[in-house]
Amino acid sequence: MLIAHKIALDPNNVQATYFAKAAGVARFAYNWALAEWKRQYEAWKADNTLPKPSQAALRRQLNAIKRERFPWMLEVTKCAPQMAIIQLGEAFKNFFAGRARYPQFRKKGTHDRFTLANDQFDIDGCRIRIPNLGWVRMREALRFEGHIVSATISREAGRWFASIAIDTDCQPKRPAENQGAVGVDLGVSALATLSTGEKIEGPKPLQSLLRRLRQLGKRLSRKRKGSRNWVKAKAKLARLHARIANIRRDALHKLTAELTRRFHTIGIEDLSVRGMVRNRHLARSIADMGFGEFRRQLQ
């Protein structure tokens, strides 16, 4: 099965600058290809003798013009623009299959990432080798063994991460128990109540850090947009949002891992989370618990 291990990186200033450049190149290539795809598709609808756009054709087109029109692309790995256009092709494939919405342009600061093919990087213990850059320290070693498929370098709240996709058949290290079947009832006061009578309390990170969140939001709103103080305040608010998300995600991972280890059959409610959050009295508490993420992880 395919599984991804997301590991925090510890780059120096030179390496972090390279990551930002590569992410910018990937974002530019994606947006350029999306604009070209739209233009060529409209031209094909008007004249069917013209070829339909495809990610392979757009990659060849970019390779033919980038040395003359975009020479700064050559400062980073060739995988950054190429893999971005391949991802655009997958996005259109999912759109035409009805699995996703129409692709949108990527934004700076929101979609800061680039992907490497498996033949473009190496992993040695707690470090990863990036093309045109060298070895970068990782906070931990790769947890799984198997065929490495790809690696995506991304930035979240000022920190860089490597998400390494692996095709593996590794089994959990802890032995699975067999305690029969169990029913799980999700709630607001307690995250989960099991049919065995156990209650698992949720961490409620948003509720506990809401006052701090409001303070930082007010400070950001009082800064002049684009100024250095505005950038600092925005980064501080982003770090707090990331901390809240990490606390929630950690609790859900531990709970779902424990349930799947203990029981061979798990029954949960078929909740419409999208409908539940329309209730303005419960929306914040429901979102704070992460019902949708709990179901996704459990599945």
How far is 274 from 285, CA to CA, in rounded Å? 13
Mean pLDDT to the nearest integer, 198-225: 92
Burial class from Cβ neighbours inside 10 Å (0-12, 13-18, 19+) for residue 37 reads buried
* φ/ψ (deg, to 5) at 19: -60, -45
pTM of the model: 0.83
How far is 290 from 203, CA to CA, in rounded Å? 11
**At 49, is the pLDDT very low, low, confident or very high (cuts 50, 70, 90)?**
confident
* Residue with the larger pLDDT of the pair 54 and 185: 54
Q: Which two tokens stand for residue 91?
A: 């996005």
How far is 86 from 150, CA to CA, in rounded Å? 13
Express each pLDDT in 9-18 by its tens digit. Answer: 999 999 999 9
* Residue with the larger pLDDT of the pair 282 and 47: 47
Express each pLDDT in 241-276 by its tens digit. Answer: 999 999 999 999 999 988 988 888 889 887 766 677
Q: Which two tokens stand for residue 169?
A: 């058949």
Least confident of 3-17, 64-78, 174-188, 190-204: 174-188
Q: What percent of the chain has pLDDT over 70?
A: 96
**Domain ranges within the chain, ordered by starting residue:** 2-167, 181-298
Hey, which residues does 152 pair with through a beta bridge?
A: 115, 163
Helix count and strand count (H, E) for the chain: 8, 11
